[in-house]
Amino acid sequence: MTEFLDMGGYAAFVWTAYGLSASALVWLLVSSRRKLTASVVAVDAARARRKGDN
């Protein structure tokens, strides 16, 4: 297992590359998702207020 992790001596580069890519893409995924749900809540609230107005 350790031999696999060592990546023929290039462990630092390979795992950093994969780690960075994964974390950047996951962060984008999560932040987009969170903003979307927040905006859905905001739209529903605004619609409710509009119904209340007229």
Partner 1 sequence: MHRFANPAQFNRLADVVLPWAIGLTVLLSVAGLYYALFSSPPDYQQGESVRVMYVHVPAAWMGMFVYMVMAAASFTALVWRHPLALLAGKAAAPIGAIFTALALITGMLWGKPMWGTYWVWDGRLTSVLVQFFLYLGYMALWQAMEDEEKAGRAASILALVGVVNIPIIKFSVDWWSTLHQPASVMRLDGPTIDGAMLVPLFLMAAAYQAYFVVVFLWRMKLEINNRKLSVMRQASLQNTETQMEVAG
Q: How far is the CB of 42 from partner 1 (least distance, A)?
A: 6
Task: Indicate whether 25 belongs to the interface with partner 1 (CB under 8 A).
Answer: yes
Half-sphere exposure of 4 (CA within 13 A, CB side): 1
Task: Identify each DSSP E strand in 1-54 by its residue range.
Answer: none
Distances (CA, A) of 33 to 10, 29, 40, 53, 54: 34, 6, 11, 30, 32
- Measured from the CB atom, the residue of 2 and 33 that comes closer to partner 1 is 33
Q: Give the count of residues interacting with partner 1 (CB under 8 A).
A: 29
| Residues forming the site for partner 1 (CB under 8 A) | 7-10, 13-14, 16-18, 20-21, 24-25, 28-29, 32-33, 35-36, 39-40, 42-43, 46-47, 49-50, 53-54
